[in-house]
């Protein structure tokens, strides 16, 4: 089957679409609803069930769901901008029971990174690719020769005595009213540290602020090439769908 459903759950919105997993194109309208206030499990699951019913995929179409949490063997081990009730929850099982089908459940940054490797800025690129999403926090994904290495949490690396995302996320830039130059100095510390630790072949920068990449990426001085993400807000949907369709090995998480 060449189509699959991708569902991207975030702290503010839940997006879903049917994807042609061969071409990486959406073949349905991209549907979006607000994440229920508080982000409790039952409320989010209800919205996901409703979105899938509205999309009406072909019977048996694979379904991928990505979520803002560390995902370990189907269990959500953290919670970013959703209820703490998710921590330690058998989330994959919860969704499968509600949807009446098996799903592929994955961290949201991992899904976006896999999508960029298959359809976007990292397509055909060998070696270690690190995607970072600059938003409320800093998400990350590792792709090595096309294989997803799940659950990296680079936003929580300690840089200058604090979690990197507490100094260098886009939310911090907005809240502190940092100029692009001052923010780039903080990003320089973060990316230089990551570069030293992992020696990647390519950095990809995603998140909504990536549309302004020309304002800050040229200010960074790195050995590693660093480029903006191409898939923008569809990356999570595309990656979740592609993983559900078997275009990458199912991670042990």
Write down the pLDDT at residue 12: 85
Question: What pLDDT score was predicted for residue 1?
Answer: 66
43 CA to centre of own chain: 21
**If you average pLDDT over every residue of the chain, what do you get?**
93
CA dihedral 36→41→44→49, nearest 10 degrees, is -150
The pLDDT of residue 65 is above 70: yes
Mean pLDDT, residues 167-188 taken together? 96
- From CA 58, how far away is CA 67, in angstroms rounded? 23
The pLDDT > 90 percentage for the chain reads 88
CA–CA dist 189, 195 (Å, integer): 10
- Average pLDDT on 230-251 reads 85
Band (203; pLDDT cuts 50, 70, 90): very high
CB atoms within 10 A of CB 8: 28
Tens digit of each residue's pLDDT (9 = 90 or more) over 74-113:
999 998 889 999 999 999 999 999 999 999 999 999 999 9
**For 46-75, what is the mean pLDDT?**
94
Q: What pLDDT is stored for residue 250 in this prediction?
A: 46
CA–CA separation, 143 vs 128, rounded Å?
6
User: What is the structure's pLDDT at 252?
Assistant: 42
Q: For the chain, list the domains and their CATH numbers.
A: 3-110+234-244 (3.30.420.40), 124-230 (3.30.420.40)
User: Is residue 59 predicted with pLDDT exceeding 90?
Assistant: no
pLDDT for 21: 95
Neighbours of 99 (CB within 10 A): 18
């Amino acid at each position: 089957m060449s189509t699959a459903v991708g569902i991207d759950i975030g702290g503010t919105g839940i997006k879903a679409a049917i994807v042609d997993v061969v071409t990486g194109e959406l073949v349905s309208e991209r549907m979006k609803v607000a994440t229920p206030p508080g982000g409790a499990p039952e409320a989010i699951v209800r919205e996901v069930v409703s979105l899938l019913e509205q999309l009406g995929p072909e019977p048996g179409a694979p379904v991928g769901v990505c979520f803002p949490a560390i995902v370990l063997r189907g269990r959500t081990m953290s919670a970013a901008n959703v209820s703490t009730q998710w921590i330690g929850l058998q989330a994959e099982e919860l969704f499968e029971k509600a949807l009446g089908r098996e799903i592929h459940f994955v961290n949201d940054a991992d899904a976006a990174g896999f999508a960029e490797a298959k359809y976007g800025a990292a397509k055909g690129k060998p070696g270690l690719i690190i995607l970072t999403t600059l938003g409320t926090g800093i998400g990350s994904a590792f792709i090595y020769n096309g294989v997803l290495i799940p659950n990296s949490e680079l936003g929580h690396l300690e840089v200058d005595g604090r979690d990197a995302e507490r100094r260098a996320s886009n939310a911090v830039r907005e809240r502190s009213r940092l100029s692009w130059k001052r923010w780039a100095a903080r990003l320089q510390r973060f990316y230089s540290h990551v570069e030293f630790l992992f020696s990647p072949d390519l950095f990809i920068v995603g998140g909504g602020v990536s549309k302004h990449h020309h304002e800050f990426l040229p200010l960074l001085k790195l050995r590693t090439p660093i480029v903006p993400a191409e898939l923008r807000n569809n990356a999570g949907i595309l990656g979740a769908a592609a993983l559900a369709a078997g275009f990458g090995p199912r991670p042990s998480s």
